[in-house]
Structure 1
Amino acid sequence: MNTVLLHCRGGFEKECAAEIVARSAEQGVFGYPQFEAGQAYVLFHCHAPGGAEELVTRLRFERLIFARQWCACLPLVSGLSKRDRITPLLEQCRQLPQAAELMVEVADTTEGRELQGFARKFGSALSQALRQEEILLPRKQKSDWRMHLFVIDGQTLWLGAAPARNSSPLPMGIRRLKFPHHAPSRSTLKLEEAWLHFLSAGRQKRLLAPGMTAVDLGAAPGGWTWQLVKHHMRVTAVDNGPMDEALMESGQVEHRQEDAFTFVPPKPVDWLVCDIVDKPARVTELMLRWALSGWCKQAMFNLKLPMKKRFDEVEHCLQHLEAALHEAGVEYRLRARQLYHDREEITCWLSLSEPGQ
């Protein structure tokens, strides 16, 4: 396997490509990216034989910000006959690490979504044939690898594999959430997805406990505050704009009509959340101020990205944040990802109570 296929948000192929080039070089795996604008995936072709398998095994997937999903692939399969697409694939699948699951994926584009019906049916038929040939392990048997089928069209596809514990468990890395009917804005889905993505079930139970305190900077109209209230927290919502009236009736929210960049909490809180529309460098400095002042234990915040040099801006902001915390002797855990419900932004989780790599 010499090619790594990485899913990303459409329009962020350039950032995904720049990131995998940088991260793979750190692992001593070298190659070159290939992509078209708007196709919602990137191909990274490794120079050395077996480089793709080596990369998806050695590089921690959670370190990637712009990639939603990845897998190491065999050469592109094209020209499949409509009469029998499956038989030619069986021998190729034998070349992949043995797995117990076949994940069927398409690009997150209009064209890709139109292929989903075909992809599901074809994937189901291929999976059945693979089990009959004992290429796929029995469903209940655990395996270190997952097999991937990425459908380009009815005659063209990629076959690959990814470590089950070093990739997304979700097809295309997409977590689809239902918009809560009573939430003030769709931005609420961004915080819900962030908690589900960054926090394990155990951490959610421990870190999202009833009675905790939180500050929401740039809160109006209250999409993120709504999530905090849902977890029975006491919230200080900081924004000069109006808050949702129904949300205020909960009795759990204090609205402070102040500048989020100058607000100082009267005492430390459990959670700081922030979805302010401002320059990423300025928001980074704000988060750093809260962290160094000891005003919160956990922070979930978004960095809105510029039109150009978005990967460079992300690298600069996160490296600056980490360097300043390290210099101050603050133990921390920092993770970042462009989530499905994000747009021109990335979401970051900074933990000052549960440090780690």
Structure 2
Amino acid sequence: MKLLLLYCRAGFEAECAAEISNRATEVGIAGYPVFTKDQGYVEYHLFGDALELMSQIKFRSLIFIRQWVACLPVCSELPTQDRISPLSALVQDLPQTAELIAETPDTTEGRELQGFVTKFASAFSQSLRKNGLMLSRKQASLWRLHLFALSGREMFLGVSPVKNSSRHAMGIQRLKFPSHAPSRSTLKLEEAWHWFIPKSEFDEALGGGLTAVDLGAAPGGWTWQLVQKGMFVTAVDNGPMNESLMETGQVTHLREDAFRFEPVRPVNWMVCDVVEKPIQVTELMLDWATHGWAEQMVFNLKLPMKQRYKETLQCLDRLKDGLNEHSIDFKLSARHLYHDREEITCYLDLRKA
């Protein structure tokens, strides 16, 4: 297959395209992106094999790409009276799968299609299994089958590797907003934990009784998540904090500048969602890391309107270089989460291996 379909947040197609072009070049596989702004996906046309490219790159190392699918050419003008037959014929050219995921672009038009696509995919998967073109649900497969619909008559068909892709439909982790949280920003930190920390390590990394600092805390969306995990939090912000959070007895509110605050003693967690230039936040994180003030950090970098991918790489490289200069062991990851907007979320683990 010569086509790699990449899902992204609408408006971030250029960043998605720049990232895959950069990463493909690194592993010596040439290609070129095709996209329209705000369409929510990028077509990356390869001169090599899409499956080979996917085997050379760790999906979890990608930042702006929510999901990737090795695809056949788009199926256009599908007959409305029988879409299943022509699509079934194409499935025979794909690796065998045991699961079909129905998807659309994450756009207004795409969301309007989801009801139809879900129903169609159910009938399609039943037909594939009946005709021996898909394994039973109990059988293991290395691949997932994806049906990505642009309309009722135009669809992509392809596969993603089960162990090197997102397990969520459309690459989106769906979370329910907790009604008692002070702000919707709380979902950013919850999603970050789900993405960056393996479920098997949740108890160790996020257990009760830990200490945390929330820089730029008000009104307390991220502090709320820390409190729910049983942590004791120092919330640093000149603005007011949610009253119910303060009543828990787990939060100390300091009306100070996040960029000038220094903890009395090291903490287990530092989180930061301040609105400031990304390079300044990067320097602040580097300061915390080199002083040994926190074991783990989650922080957001608010990106500029232009050259967002370039700015991302510059900030991450600055952080890596600074940590290496101080001979600090670290694990650094970054992701444009579903609940992020003009920003990326980073996770820095400074615990000794």
Q: Which of the five TM-score ranges fits, normalised by the shorter chain?
A: over 0.9
**Separation (CA, whole Å) in 1 of partners of 2:10 and 2:352:** 33
Cα distance, 1:354 vs structure 2: 5.8
Cα distance, 1:32 vs structure 2: 0.4
Aligned pairs for 1:67-82 (under 5 A) are 67-82=65-80
**Separation (CA, whole Å) in 1 of partners of 2:334 and 2:199:** 18
Structure 1 residue aligned with 2:147: 149
**Separation (CA, whole Å) in 1 of partners of 2:160 and 2:52:** 11
In structure 2, give the amino acid aligned to 1:87.
Answer: S
Please tell me the root mean square deviation across aligned C-alpha atoms, in Å: 0.9
Q: Is the 8 A contact 1:333 1:354 kept in 2?
A: no
**Separation (CA, whole Å) in 2 of partners of 1:145 and 1:2:** 17
**Separation (CA, whole Å) in 1 of partners of 2:223 and 2:159:** 40
Aligned pairs for 1:41-80 (under 5 A) are 41-48=41-48, 51-80=49-78
SS, match of residue 334 in structure 2: strand
Higher mean C-alpha displacement, 171-180 vs 215-224 = 171-180
Aligned pairs for 1:116-131 (under 5 A) are 116-131=114-129
Cα distance, 1:205 vs structure 2: 1.3
Structure 1 residue aligned with 2:86: 88
Structure 2 residue aligned with 1:29: 29
**Separation (CA, whole Å) in 2 of partners of 1:206 and 1:31:** 42
Structure 1 residue aligned with 2:318: 320
Aligned pairs for 1:209-224 (under 5 A) are 209-224=207-222
In structure 1, give the amino acid aligned to 2:330.
Answer: Y
Tell me the alpha carbon deviations over residues 195-226 of structure 1, each in whole angstroms, 9 at most, x when there is no partner.
11111111211110000000000001100000
Aligned pairs for 1:101-116 (under 5 A) are 101-116=99-114
**Separation (CA, whole Å) in 1 of partners of 2:209 and 2:272:** 20
Structure 1 residue aligned with 2:199: 201
Structure 2 residue aligned with 1:284: 282
Structure 1 residue aligned with 2:300: 302
Aligned pairs for 1:5-20 (under 5 A) are 5-20=5-20
Cα distance, 1:327 vs structure 2: 2.1
Q: Normalization by structure 2: what TM-score?
A: 0.99
**Separation (CA, whole Å) in 1 of partners of 2:287 and 2:2:** 44
**Separation (CA, whole Å) in 1 of partners of 2:138 and 2:331:** 34
In structure 1, give the amino acid aligned to 2:228.
Answer: K
Tell me the alpha carbon deviations over residues 233-285 of structure 1, each in whole angstroms, 9 at most, x when there is no partner.
00000011111111100000001111101111000000000000000000000
**Separation (CA, whole Å) in 1 of partners of 2:123 and 2:56:** 32
**Which of 235, 238, 243 in structure 2 is aligned with 1:237?**
235
Change (3 A) 1:354 1:35: farther
In structure 1, give the amino acid aligned to 2:339.
Answer: H
SS, match of residue 298 in structure 1: strand
**Separation (CA, whole Å) in 2 of partners of 1:256 and 1:273:** 15
SS, match of residue 164 in structure 2: coil
The count of residues paired between Structure 1 and Structure 2 equals 353
Tell me the alpha carbon deviations over residues 104-154 of structure 1, each in whole angstroms, 9 at most, x when there is no partner.
110000000000011001111111111112111110111111111100111
Q: Normalization by structure 1: what TM-score?
A: 0.97
**Separation (CA, whole Å) in 1 of partners of 2:167 and 2:123:** 21
**Separation (CA, whole Å) in 2 of partners of 1:25 and 1:132:** 42
Aligned pairs for 1:246-257 (under 5 A) are 246-257=244-255
In structure 2, give the amino acid aligned to 1:25.
Answer: T
In structure 1, give the amino acid aligned to 2:67.
Answer: Q
Structure 1 residue aligned with 2:265: 267
Structure 1 residue aligned with 2:2: 2
Structure 2 residue aligned with 1:338: 336
Aligned pairs for 1:126-137 (under 5 A) are 126-137=124-135
SS, match of residue 235 in structure 1: strand
Higher mean C-alpha displacement, 223-232 vs 139-148 = 139-148
SS, match of residue 322 in structure 2: helix
In structure 1, give the amino acid aligned to 2:9.
Answer: R
Structure 1 residue aligned with 2:345: 347
Cα distance, 1:98 vs structure 2: 1.0
SS, match of residue 32 in structure 1: strand
> Which consecutive residues of structure 2, in runs of 5 or more, have no partner in the other structure?
none
> Which consecutive residues of structure 1, in runs of 5 or more, have no partner in the other structure?
none
